[in-house]
Structure 1
Amino acid sequence: MRIEMIDKQFRLDGRPHLVLAGEIHYFRIPRPEWEQRLDLLVEAGANCLATYMPWVVHEQADGSIDLTGRVRPELDLGAFVDLAAERGLTVLARPGPFTMGELRHEGIPSRLRTDHPEILPVGWDGAPATTSTVDYLAPAFLAEVRRWYLEIGEILRPRSAASGGPVIAVQLDNEIGMLSWVSNTPDLTDRAVDAFRTRMLDTEATEQLAAAGYPVAQQDWTDAVRSPDERLVAALRVDLAEFLRESYATYVGILHGFVTEAGLGDLPQLINVHGTEAGSALSFPIGISQLQRSFRGRPGFTAGSDHYLGTLTWRGAAELHLVHAFLDAAQTPEQPLTSLEFEAGTGDYGGDLGNLTDPASVILKTRLLLSQGARMLNWYLFAGGTNVVDPRPDDNGTHRFGITGERHGHAAPVTPEGTRGPAFPSTVESIGVAANLAGFAAAWVPEHDDLAVGFVPDHWATEHRYPGSTLTAELVGELTWARGAGPRAALPRCLLAAGFRYGAVDLQDPQARLPRLVVLGTGRLLQQEIQERLLAHVHGGGRLLLLGDLPVRDLLDRPATAFADALGLRPGELVRGGPGRFPSVQPVGPLADLTEVPLGRLTPLQHDRGIPLLVEATTDRPCGLEIPYGDGFVTVIAADWAPAQDTLRRLVGRLGVAPGLVLTGALPGLYSATTRTPEGERFLHLINVEGHPQRVTVTLDGSPVRGSEEFVLAPRTGTVHVIG
């Protein structure tokens, strides 16, 4: 069996293949019940088994590793993989070293923490890390990981696709950098700080470092980095983010070397990107920013999402679309889009009915990701199980391998006891939707109108900020205010509601092709080189829509006025709302029929040649302008203004782009997309996310789809139609 990644497809023995996986943890299920769980996975329609292979469970008290079941039959990894193969399932191997999965120390044996204390990070002010993260590049840690990977390779190598076995891909580690991010604990071990200093001295002159606030003397460097003063924090935030991203990429390269040594390097190598929180996907691009260098352009690599949104709302659907567009833009044309933890189940993760996910959500999310060209989905977690007792003592408050008590996977479609749970029918239906479309979905590509949302990875390098720094708080606040999704995070949902089929473009990639219109949500911080590239695009006939503010400074808080200078704009003092103050804007000129609305902030703009679109209601000072530049146009909205779908359609239309897909009669909450196969077959995707029925007629590229026939969708349903 041959597995390849070509033209954003997985190809199995040369044919496009849609990977439909379900996650089952063999080590949590009694061995006599393995076959029954795998049979349920086959019954659900999956064609692939995904599983963590946790180091913490397989390593024994004497340091030996049991992968054959000599200590406990549930540790016979090869037997589990063989049972999957007998059922025609391929296998996605996830051997860590970190696995998370609610395992003790996130899947890392606690022995490493005592045997190698130097791997334990310290962060700001030298404080110990509050999570189980380690210094990924510590030599002792890497030596231990190599040993683990070589042991895993003994089991998986003869079962790899290259050897005629079922193992088709290997995930390297899991959610790299996530623990550091969520705890705001950058890795500042002595080794890491020394490496950071070496990098800075190799890339910057001593005078430049001193001007940025770095100490010149080596003995002062560690204290300055761990406890920076206000003069250094701006540069340190940027430089440290750059250093850590390079470190993650180096770590992944080393892991790939271990995997290759273990005989699995010819399989697709997967990177699981983390980032959703509190039911929102808008933080997910932080994970993309952290890990992009670890996967982008690396032969044989691709990345996947890890998302937990619960019940899918219109806002959630729009966010999910946006972040997967960003993830796709962060890759190269060869690398397929995947979701390595595709949320399945009831949402009752605590087993206390504290949260329940609408069962239609998993089906709607499946339809949405397929419409965006996803080639692999791993329904996580498919089957629950039991956290067995670990005979080794530990200080984390539990004597089990897992941290959820005896039972694990309360929310899973298959319960810890192996019965079909409440979420099993919807999971079967969602996998069935994908399986029924697989013949086309394995190769179709989404069609986009001639616009894209701009993705600036460095805008999302905000995971680490020195506590108590006023300047850092201001810079991060300005970055997070409108990045990506625009003011009020309205851009993705309003674009979709207006009928635009959009993707994304990485504005830091000089090779990325810019569409006619780039839509960019941004505050006042944007790199000078990105401003200059966008200006060149507009001057040559392109279009640009800026939503949020006029960028005038870079990420180091230095002047960056390419936009202002080229467009003849002079920004005034920022006007903010607050207690008893309600700054408002009045649409004017081409938008004069719209009503005044209150905002949280606006920036007045003096101009030389623009057409006013928005003015401050009490002063008539413009804060929204349409400006000619060269052969193109720029629209700048320097205000916390979220244009509704009809208004956004008008703004975009004035910039020369109209939606190719028009839905007449649509109520809010109807997602639409089109895809095309390499053979030219086209498909219309309609997903009714909200709770009211939809009756619409559809026009595509100016021609009615199926004449005057209405498309009817019940609440919380979706359809796919062949349209040519």
Structure 2
Amino acid sequence: MAGEVHYFRLHRRDWADRLDKLVAAGCTAVASYMPWLVHETASGTVDLTGATSEYRDLVGFLELAAERDLLVIARPGPFIMAELKNEGIPFRIYREHPAAIPLGWDGERGPTQTLDYLEPGYLAQAERWFAEIMPVLADRLVTRGGPVAAVQLDNEVGMLSWVTNTPELTDRTLHDLASWAIEHWGADDARQRYGADPREPEAWVAQWRAGGTRGGSEAQQLALHHDLGAHHRDRYARYLLRLREMAVQHGIHGVPFLVNLHGTSEGRGRTFPIGISQLSKAYAGMPQTTSGSDHYLGELTVENVPDLYVMNAFMAAVHDADQPLTSLEFESGTGNYVEDLSREASPEATDLKTRLCVAQGNRLISYYLFAGGHNPPLDEPVGDGNDRIAFTGERHGFAAPVDPEGRLSPTYPALRSVVRAVHGAEHLLADMDEEHDDIVLGYVQDHYLTEYTHPEAARRRELVHEVERYRGMGPRDILARALLLGGHSFGAVDLSAAPTSADSALDPAGPAVALATPPVLGRAVQERLAAFVQGGGRLLLHGVLPVLDDDGTPCTVLADTLGVAVTETVDGTVHHFPSVRATDWAGPQPEVRVGVLQRLRATGETDAQPLALDVADGSPVAFEVRTEGGGLAIVMACDYPCHLDFWRALVARLGVHRRLVAHGEAPGLVVTSTADATGQRLLHLVNVAQVPQKFTLDVNGMPLADGAALELPVRSGRMLPVGIRLDGGVLRWATAELDGAGDGSTLLLRRDNGPGSALLETGREVLVDDGSGAEVTEEENGCRLVTWPGGEDGARLRIRLRNGS
């Protein structure tokens, strides 16, 4: 549990205060950017010891952190962002290396201060920066007794190009792309694919900068845009791997390298998988490297709780078993980022998001920004209005739990409380993984290859709109929301990954696959899913029937395998209200309005039974398909509303049942669990609703706490222990959170305002704290039931097992 503190935005005299507040909040690590822009002086030398300015004393800050036993997450760039000018790159780089400033569509420069990551001049300068800072970090690695526990490589690579729709189209990049195209397709096929010959540089450059809109066909336009994104993936991977090589050359060994993923927008995570798509080639399968989320979601609500859950699931889908989830920029403040009070997140938001990420297996959470500060002046004035290192003015980090002047904001107590909750169970969490129901959500990387569209590429723009409408979480986010709020916990599978002999993710005997389907689904993915169902697998498609390959050419491999075809697509308008009704399988169901439906027909190749009908003409809009190989597929070609009972029943038709079943809850309760190899378990309950929850919970068919009602206040969470081993017994369950590991025979619980109970299976005498009001009674099954009344919120209850009866 870490927090970001920017030493370069604080006077040296304030460092100890901010680090002490971090320690007081329960954090065990400090993260910080280490900006090239700040540490390079006007003369071009690099100061990392504070010889020229207190803001540059990185060494002193690292030593102060070590004195407080804080680990350090080092974030040395070269790019920093953090509202710094030039994203943390020195001004001189742009003056001395104009060839590194990329050109975009039609040869125009983009609106941001990004650079061509692979331009030789910039790369040489980046290596000079690493040659200065990496030895300082290497000397202080945890493997050498220092505090530095991890090193981030650059920051949010590719984000600036994506958000401005400005691909990198310099002559040098397009020459590289010509070689890439010849390698992938051959020269003649590349000419046919893009409408330009990669061996003719002038025509090649002109066609790509025009986005295929100057005389190319629609198919060439689509292929060009798709492959532009694919080539950028390769470039970003080459850049990050080169930075990794530089860091290793300068002494960084034995600690993780981290890659920060960007992508949330306007309080939602729908676009976050773009960052995974852009950067996963740089870390997937790469030893000692993992990715981290960077998210700004504001409040966690029924609207966006599936976003965060799916973000984590999709990240994990491209990780190996030894690549844990992390969060390198975990939003923890009030949300008042531009100091205009246009938004204000509740303190509970940090608590809820932390609990959900921990439940999904995050092993590092770094709260950003933990402490605000101020922006010192640049060494040399540039005449830009404030001549400071950043564009936020004198003060920075207005929304942080610790404000620029060191005062605690209302989010600080909530952060401290949830960190305590995590530490209370960390001895278990460290060896636990999330448990899932028998279903995974499909992640298709190329559904997020949508960063770039030439302004005049009408067909590309149309196709991107369709992909964005249906991908990931499903139309109107219904698929993911219905699964999560309907009580299912689920992982994800990267359907774009090439199958290997060891790949069991699409084993027909394995989990059912749920996939949100745009009209575009690459041929390789369609073939993989077709083989999966033909082999006996279970598949749920939600959206529209896929009929196009990635480059827009017709492809109906999956539809043909399922024996289903589209006769007509009907969109809702202000004057037309398409509506559907479920058939008898679902029991009495109302007619419901949908935003889109497809009228389907069975081709006779499979056994296809209608599950829902268009009320206008009786056409099927959903089929249950059984294949000769024993496979089962549900094709849901409409955005059926998020009626939780309907979706639970639909998923149950695939043979998927909930491990955890809450009875009596209101929408907004998320329930999942983590477990270790021995069966010790934590139940994670997160209530994002605006109403309190009172419910009973079944765990694998058995009632928890003998069926006693559990209560969660509005917007709160809890981690309940189940089956936890003690010296001399087992904690069968408790309705309170753990508050530490104890000493083996001691159980530490954290009380809240209401009454609580715990059941222990033990032959020993059970002792409780004097004055706690707790009582111990012997149950008929030889267990001891400990109960206690409501009391001081947060007080610790100690339960001991004494030797002897």
TM-score by length of 1: 0.96
Contact between 2:592 and 2:641, CA under 8 Å: does it hold in 1? no
In structure 2, the residue matched to 1:687 is: 686
- Structure 1 residues 290-309: Cα deviation after superposition (integer angstroms, max 9, x where no partner): 01101111011000000001
In structure 1, the residue matched to 2:446 is: 458
In structure 1, the residue matched to 2:352 is: 364
Contact between 1:505 and 1:512, CA under 8 Å: does it hold in 2? no
Contact between 1:390 and 1:400, CA under 8 Å: does it hold in 2? yes
Structure with larger RCO (C-alpha < 8 A, sep 6+): 1
Distance 1:592 1:678, change over 3 A: closer
Could you tell me how far 1:490 is from its partner in structure 2?
A: 1.5
1:120-131 superposed matches below 5 A: 120-131=101-112
Could you tell me how far 1:512 is from its partner in structure 2?
A: 5.2
| Alignment match of 1:571 (pick from 553, 558, 566) | 566
In structure 2, the residue matched to 1:527 is: 522
- Structure 1 residues 614-668: Cα deviation after superposition (integer angstroms, max 9, x where no partner): 2211111111110101211111011232342111111111111111111000111
Contact between 1:257 and 1:265, CA under 8 Å: does it hold in 2? no
In structure 1, the residue matched to 2:60 is: 79
| Alignment match of 1:501 (pick from 489, 497, 502) | 489
Could you tell me how far 1:395 is from its partner in structure 2?
A: 5.7
SS in 2 for 1:675: strand
Aligned mates of 1:64, 1:310 — CA distance in 2: 40
In structure 1, the residue matched to 2:534 is: 539
Contact between 1:110 and 1:394, CA under 8 Å: does it hold in 2? no
Could you tell me how far 1:599 is from its partner in structure 2?
A: 2.0
Could you tell me how far 1:707 is from its partner in structure 2?
A: 1.4
- Structure 1 residues 229-274: Cα deviation after superposition (integer angstroms, max 9, x where no partner): 2523201111111110011110011000110111114321000000
In structure 1, the residue matched to 2:779 is: none
Could you tell me how far 1:396 is from its partner in structure 2?
A: 4.3
In structure 2, the residue matched to 1:6 is: none
In structure 1, the residue matched to 2:787 is: none
In structure 2, the residue matched to 1:719 is: 718
Could you tell me how far 1:705 is from its partner in structure 2?
A: 1.5
Aligned mates of 1:398, 1:617 — CA distance in 2: 63
| Alignment match of 1:271 (pick from 256, 259, 268) | 259
Which segments of 5 or more consecutive residues in structure 1 lack a partner in the other structure? 1-19
| Alignment match of 1:586 (pick from 581, 585, 590) | 581
Aligned mates of 1:526, 1:327 — CA distance in 2: 20
SS in 2 for 1:544: strand
Segment of structure 1 superposing worse, 529-538 or 254-263: 529-538
Contact between 2:273 and 2:448, CA under 8 Å: does it hold in 1? yes
In structure 2, the residue matched to 1:251 is: 239
Could you tell me how far 1:505 is from its partner in structure 2?
A: 0.7
Amino acid at match of 2:699: L
Contact between 1:517 and 1:657, CA under 8 Å: does it hold in 2? yes
Amino acid at match of 1:53: M
Contact between 1:589 and 1:612, CA under 8 Å: does it hold in 2? no
Matched, 1:193 2:185: no
| Alignment match of 2:224 (pick from 236, 241, 244) | 236
Q: Percent identity?
A: 43
In structure 2, the residue matched to 1:513 is: 505
- Structure 1 residues 445-495: Cα deviation after superposition (integer angstroms, max 9, x where no partner): 100011000000110110111112110011101111111111111122211
Contact between 1:364 and 1:716, CA under 8 Å: does it hold in 2? yes
Contact between 1:373 and 1:444, CA under 8 Å: does it hold in 2? yes
- Structure 1 residues 42-66: Cα deviation after superposition (integer angstroms, max 9, x where no partner): 1111100100000011111111111
In structure 2, the residue matched to 1:222 is: 205
Aligned mates of 2:207, 2:681 — CA distance in 1: 58
| RMSD of equivalent CA atoms | 1.3
Could you tell me how far 1:397 is from its partner in structure 2?
A: 3.8
| Alignment match of 2:26 (pick from 45, 68, 78) | 45
Aligned mates of 1:203, 1:317 — CA distance in 2: 40
Contact between 2:158 and 2:236, CA under 8 Å: does it hold in 1? yes
Contact between 1:487 and 1:641, CA under 8 Å: does it hold in 2? no
Contact between 2:613 and 2:620, CA under 8 Å: does it hold in 1? yes
SS in 2 for 1:706: helix
1:85-234 superposed matches below 5 A: 85-216=66-197, 217-227=200-210, 228-229=212-213, 230-231=216-217, 232-234=220-222
Aligned mates of 1:512, 1:622 — CA distance in 2: 34
Contact between 1:547 and 1:636, CA under 8 Å: does it hold in 2? yes
1:327-346 superposed matches below 5 A: 327-346=315-334
Contact between 1:256 and 1:265, CA under 8 Å: does it hold in 2? no
Amino acid at match of 1:202: E
TM-score by length of 2: 0.86
Contact between 1:345 and 1:427, CA under 8 Å: does it hold in 2? no
SS in 1 for 2:568: coil
SS in 1 for 2:707: coil
Distance 1:104 1:207, change over 3 A: same
In structure 2, the residue matched to 1:678 is: 677
Amino acid at match of 1:196: L
Contact between 1:625 and 1:636, CA under 8 Å: does it hold in 2? yes
Amino acid at match of 1:626: E
Distance 1:190 1:158, change over 3 A: same
In structure 2, the residue matched to 1:668 is: 667
SS in 2 for 1:78: helix
Aligned mates of 2:141, 2:183 — CA distance in 1: 42
Contact between 1:491 and 1:642, CA under 8 Å: does it hold in 2? no
Contact between 1:499 and 1:659, CA under 8 Å: does it hold in 2? yes
Aligned mates of 1:568, 1:537 — CA distance in 2: 15
In structure 1, the residue matched to 2:592 is: 597
SS in 2 for 1:113: helix
Contact between 1:100 and 1:174, CA under 8 Å: does it hold in 2? yes
Contact between 2:6 and 2:33, CA under 8 Å: does it hold in 1? yes
Aligned mates of 1:283, 1:506 — CA distance in 2: 16
Contact between 1:487 and 1:642, CA under 8 Å: does it hold in 2? no
Count of residue correspondences = 705
Matched, 1:23 2:23: no
Segment of structure 1 superposing worse, 405-414 or 216-225: 216-225
In structure 1, the residue matched to 2:617 is: 619
Segment of structure 1 superposing worse, 656-665 or 567-576: 567-576
Contact between 1:517 and 1:545, CA under 8 Å: does it hold in 2? yes
Amino acid at match of 2:346: D
Aligned mates of 1:512, 1:32 — CA distance in 2: 56
In structure 1, the residue matched to 2:731 is: none
Aligned mates of 1:338, 1:304 — CA distance in 2: 4
In structure 2, the residue matched to 1:14 is: none
Contact between 1:676 and 1:683, CA under 8 Å: does it hold in 2? yes
Could you tell me how far 1:140 is from its partner in structure 2?
A: 0.6
SS in 2 for 1:707: helix
Aligned mates of 1:371, 1:352 — CA distance in 2: 34
